[in-house]
Amino acid sequence: MEQATFAAGCFWGVEAAFRGVPGVHTTSVGYIGGMTANPTYNEVCAGTSGHAEATRVTFNPKEVSYAQLLQIFWQCHDPTQLNRQGPDVGTQYRSAIFFHSSEQQATASASKAQQENGGQHDQVIVTEITACATYHPAEEYHQQYLEKQGRAHCHKQ
């Protein structure tokens, strides 16, 4: 098993995008990339901890590749929005790929270049690609939140 960590806005929807993918063993939501130890949801939402809401994916690379997970990442959010996704605004909603190995770093960089050159986006991609830092699992009530609420999406349609 390998791990991948992505930040793409509200972690509830990002987690839902990965949960049903064949080869994904587990998902969890949490906080990464900040400057405080043991951040809470309230601190992250207030923007005082510097953390991003993130989803950690544990996957079997024999069943789903990291490159395939990156495609899901690009599709589940707008990587051209700086520190926001839809109605959610703040640095905790930034677009970021936190790589766990040099291979993931190279794959993520190539994937980002492909997105930048592919003509899918009218604006500059602002997604950060950075080494995986300490990941803090979010409070239990956030794990699989949408499933617990019987919802398929974050925002009402």
Catalytic residues: 10
From the list 17, 156, 143, the residue with the least C-alpha distance to 87 is 156
Q: Is 34 helix (H, G, I), strand (E, B) or coil?
A: coil
Give Cβ neighbours of residue 79 (< 8 Å, ≥ 6 apart).
Answer: 8, 95, 115, 121, 125, 126, 127
49 neighbors 67 (Cβ within 8 angstroms):
no
| Strand locations in 9-143 (E) | 24-32, 52-59, 84-85, 88-89, 95-99, 128-131, 136-137
For 114, the token pair is 């492909």
Distance of alpha carbon 63 from alpha carbon 124, whole angstroms: 32
